[in-house]
């Protein structure tokens, strides 16, 4: 189920499902630890003796954000209860505090007794063993803690501060469902403490005037000690929760619009999703540098693991989006993180935790009895490539200096060593993490990395290294064209398997990842071979249903929906794969008319976003429902990249068109070649 409205600040991340239930609660890192373990945190309303949990069918829910902020705007309406609730949720931009302001409005025209209940089913550090929940009379709050993780729950309404009533008890032990059941009669037992596998439900009483409103502002303060959360609670009471919520809204508006990017050429939907994507990306980035792939715990039910890790490749592409939008602090932190986790020999392993430890992996260290590196070489290559993009944009010499050896020299020298006799990379795993061999995507990424490393070596006054890196890139480019291009099919292979005779067996399955041929500088987008490949990918991978979009590759089995009509539905449509086609159209556009061919693909993404603007990894080819994790950080980053590339190309093409018109006007103003001749015709371009 999608996480429709994530809110966070790089230390604390809260993610809701589409029923407006908190499902994921990460602290002190984005992605580590998930203190709900994916369990439902319930939200319920009691009104004049009647009760409904928010997932009940009587509710109409609208989950959105306020424009250009990470403050939500949620409307919950229940005609049976006769109430409408407007909620604004946010994590404070500075402190690890989660706020929710709930405004209850009467719809029946009479005075109302309304009680709001928030149920917290925490499993601190991902396990319910050894938790403690207690009522703290010193702060009139509830505190749930284990080891060095503390959460303090409190609230204020228009008249007082402190929780009104609560229930603390056991869950999923001895048949106990949890304290949420205690809320359904509108009253909670106020027991003082419980330990072990515990949960807590907190109630807030509101008297709502006829046709009027009443509110309660609640918060959860996170910290590493009781002293810390109590101090945070005191600061909230001093400043007022509503004031802190307002300052957070102002901060994110400033953050989202800090760069003077002219988005006027974009349709409104594309423009709105462009800014929303940047904000959603920010929720998935840890303040210590790790860029997390996704934080949707529902995926664990499929494979027993999740996406709350940092893949260096995904992170590199997100960092590139950050570079394009001027978010240099975040991209800088990411590269420093990479400099800490990279192996001394110059390559990255599979993936890493938000804290920088080696994460779980399915890549073996031995294949057919032979020792191998369990790597995806494109991950190493794309970090170097993206670092060059950062440097070209921001020219931060002091920043690059300590990273030059770990992220440029050693990776580039390792890439030169990790080659076969033909100059192609030795086998590694593909970006989809499914096949081992020599992949077109990987080869193109390594060419981009070696080219970037050569430019760095030139800047740092090392001509020998520059020459070696550049020669390696040139040789690899020639080998890519020679060994992975099939002239009979007029396409590139997605994969080459080395053979004993020194040749390769080609896998000609159409794979969207071959967009890398132009994306990282291996070839120009106008190269006839690239044009043929991208045309073939569009023809063979477009989903021919009302949903549309591009699949990853032919017969994609991951979350596969259609197994029969493969010609019509080669796989589920992916956001990044659809946008790679848009990037190609943008890159090759020579006129504004050609550039506009990419716009329907950008608008396809807009249509498939959740109402909140959240993008999933992939979608159902017949219903359009999100599949797999949501939001996927890479989906949002690719949308940002495509939009920025569109705007840059639009600016260049517009300037070129204006120059042509200006030249034509000046030429027309010159005297004619003969007396009596009329003015020269103004040259026009029907594309302008």
The pLDDT score that the predictor gives to residue 677 is 39
The two tokens of residue 334 are 């990411």
Instruction: Give pLDDT, residue 263.
Output: 97
Q: Render 181-202 in DSSP notation, one character per residue.
A: GGGGGT------EEEESEEEEE
Query: CA geometry: angle at 321 spanning 317 and 327, to 5°?
Result: 125
pLDDT at 671: 64
pTM of the model: 0.94
Question: For residue 576, is pLDDT > 90?
Answer: yes
- Rounded-to-integer distance, Cα 240 and Cα 179, Å: 29
Q: What percent of the chain has pLDDT over 70?
A: 97
* Cα 339 from Cα 346, distance rounded (Å): 10
Contact predicate 230/152, CB 8 Å: yes
Neighbour-count burial of 178, counting CB atoms closer than 10 A to its CB (0-12 exposed, 13-18 middle, 19+ buried): buried
Looking at residues 98-110, what average pLDDT do you find?
A: 98
Provide CB contacts within 8 A for 367, sequence distance 6+: 436
Q: Is the pLDDT of residue 669 over 80?
A: no
Contacts of 370 (CB under 8 A, 6+ apart): none
Rounded to the nearest integer, the mean pLDDT of the chain is 95
Q: For the chain, list the domains and their CATH numbers.
A: 7-256 (2.70.98.10), 268-657 (1.50.10.10)
Cα–Cα distance, 520 to 587 (Å, whole number): 12
pLDDT value of residue 360:
95
Mean pLDDT across 136-157: 97
**Residue 489 to residues 315, 508, 559: CA-CA distances in angstroms?**
34, 9, 29
Element (H, E) at 618: strand 618-619
- List b or e across 605-625, with b for residues whose CB sees 16 or more CB atoms inside 10 angstroms: bbebbbebbbbbbbbbbeebe
Closest by alpha carbon to 327, among 365, 375, 285?
285
* For residue 557, pLDDT beyond 80: yes
What CA–CA distance (Å, rounded) separates 575 from 571?
12
Burial of 675 (0-12, 13-18, 19+ CB in 10 A): exposed
Q: What is the pLDDT of residue 682?
A: 33
Which of these ranges, 42-56, 235-249, 454-468, 658-672, has the smallest mean pLDDT? 658-672
Band of pLDDT at residue 300, cut at 50, 70 and 90: confident
Buried/exposed code over 363-398 (b: 16+ C-beta within 10 A; e: otherwise): beeeeeeeebbbbbbbbbbbbbbbbbbbbeeeeeee
With tokens 């009479």, the residue in question is 110
348: Cβ contacts below 8 Å, ≥ 6 apart: 312, 338, 341, 342, 375, 379, 380, 383
For 347-392, write each residue's pLDDT tens digit. Answer: 999 999 999 999 999 999 999 999 999 999 999 999 999 999 999 9
Please tell me the predicted confidence (pLDDT) of residue 174.
79
Q: With beta carbons less than 8 A apart as the criterion, state whether 439 and 431 touch.
A: yes
Question: Which tokens hold the place of 630?
Answer: 């949501």
What's residue 154's pLDDT?
Answer: 98
């Amino acid at each position: 189920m999608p996480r429709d409205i994530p809110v966070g600040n790089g230390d604390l991340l809260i993610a809701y499902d589409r029923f407006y239930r908190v499902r994921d609660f990460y602290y002190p890192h984005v992605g580590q630890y998930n203190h709900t373990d994916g369990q439902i945190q319930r939200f319920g309303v009691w009104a004049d003796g009647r009760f409904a949990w928010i997932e009940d069918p009587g509710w109409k829910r609208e989950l959105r954000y306020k424009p250009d902020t990470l403050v939500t705007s949620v409307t919950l309406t229940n005609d049976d209860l006769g109430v409408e609730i407007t909620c604004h949720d946010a994590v404070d931009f500075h402190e690890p505090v989660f706020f929710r302001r709930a405004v209850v409005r009467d719809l029946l025209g009479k005075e109302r007794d309304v009680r709001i209940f928030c149920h917290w089913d925490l499993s601190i550090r991902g396990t319910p063993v050894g938790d403690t929940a207690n009522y703290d009379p010193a702060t009139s709050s509830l505190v749930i803690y284990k080891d060095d993780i503390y959460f303090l729950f409190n609230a204020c309404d228009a008249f007082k501060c402190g929780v009104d009533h609560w229930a603390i008890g056991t869950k999923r032990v001895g048949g106990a469902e949890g304290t949420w059941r205690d809320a359904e009669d509108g009253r909670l037992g106020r027991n003082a403490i419980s330990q072990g596998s515990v949960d807590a439900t907190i109630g807030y009483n509101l008297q709502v005037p006829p046709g009027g409103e009443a509110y309660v502002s609640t918060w959860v303060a996170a910290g590493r000690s009781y002293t810390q959360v109590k101090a945070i609670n005191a600061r909230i009471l001093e400043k007022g929760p509503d004031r802190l919520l307002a300052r957070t809204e102002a901060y994110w508006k400033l953050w989202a619009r800090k760069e003077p990017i002219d988005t006027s050429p974009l349709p409104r939907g594309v423009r709105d999703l462009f800014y929303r994507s940047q904000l959603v990306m920010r929720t998935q980035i840890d303040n210590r540098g790790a860029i997390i792939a996704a934080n949707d715990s529902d995926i664990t039910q499929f494979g027993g693991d999740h996406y709350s890790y940092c893949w260096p490749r995904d992170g590199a592409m997100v960092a590139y989006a950050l570079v394009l939008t001027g978010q240099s602090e975040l991209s800088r932190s990411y590269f420093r993180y990479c400099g800490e986790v990279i192996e001394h020999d110059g390559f990255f392993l599979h993936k890493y935790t938000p804290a920088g430890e080696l994460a779980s992996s399915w890549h073996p260290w031995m294949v057919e009895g032979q020792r191998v590196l369990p790597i995806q070489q494109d991950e190493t290559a794309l970090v170097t490539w993206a670092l060059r993009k950062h440097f070209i944009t921001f020219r931060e010499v002091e920043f690059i200096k300590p990273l030059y050896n770990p992220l440029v020299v050693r990776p580039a020298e390792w890439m030169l060593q990790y080659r076969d006799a033909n100059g192609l990379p030795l086998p590694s795993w593909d970006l989809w993490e499914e096949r081992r061999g020599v992949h077109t995507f990987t080869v193109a990424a390594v060419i981009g990395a070696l080219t970037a490393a050569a430019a760095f070596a030139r800047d740092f006054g090392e001509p020998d290294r520059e020459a070696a890196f550049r020669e390696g890139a040139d040789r690899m480019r020639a080998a890519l064209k020679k060994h992975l291009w099939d002239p009979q099919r007029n396409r590139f292979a997605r994969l080459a398997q080395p053979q004993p005779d020194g040749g390769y067996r080609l896998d000609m399955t159409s794979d969207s990842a071959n967009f890398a041929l132009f994306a990282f500088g291996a070839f120009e987008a106008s190269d006839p071979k690239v044009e043929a490949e991208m045309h073939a990918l569009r023809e063979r991978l477009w989903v021919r249903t009302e949903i549309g979009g591009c699949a990853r590759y032919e017969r994609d089995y991951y979350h596969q929906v259609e197994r029969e009509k493969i010609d019509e539905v080669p796989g589920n449509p992916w956001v990044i794969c659809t946008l790679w086609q848009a990037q190609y159209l943008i890159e090759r556009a020579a006129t504004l008319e050609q550039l506009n061919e990419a716009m329907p693909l950008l608008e396809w993404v807009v249509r498939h976003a959740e109402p909140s603007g959240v993008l999933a990894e992939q979608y159902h080819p017949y219903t359009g429902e999100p599949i797999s994790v949501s939001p996927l950080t890479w989906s949002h980053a690719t949308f940002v990249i495509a939009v920025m590339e569109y705007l840059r190309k639009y600016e260049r093409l517009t300037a070129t068109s204006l120059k042509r018109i200006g030249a034509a006007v000046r030429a027309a103003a010159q005297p004619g070649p003969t007396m009596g001749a009329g003015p020269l015709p103004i040259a026009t371009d029907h594309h302008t």
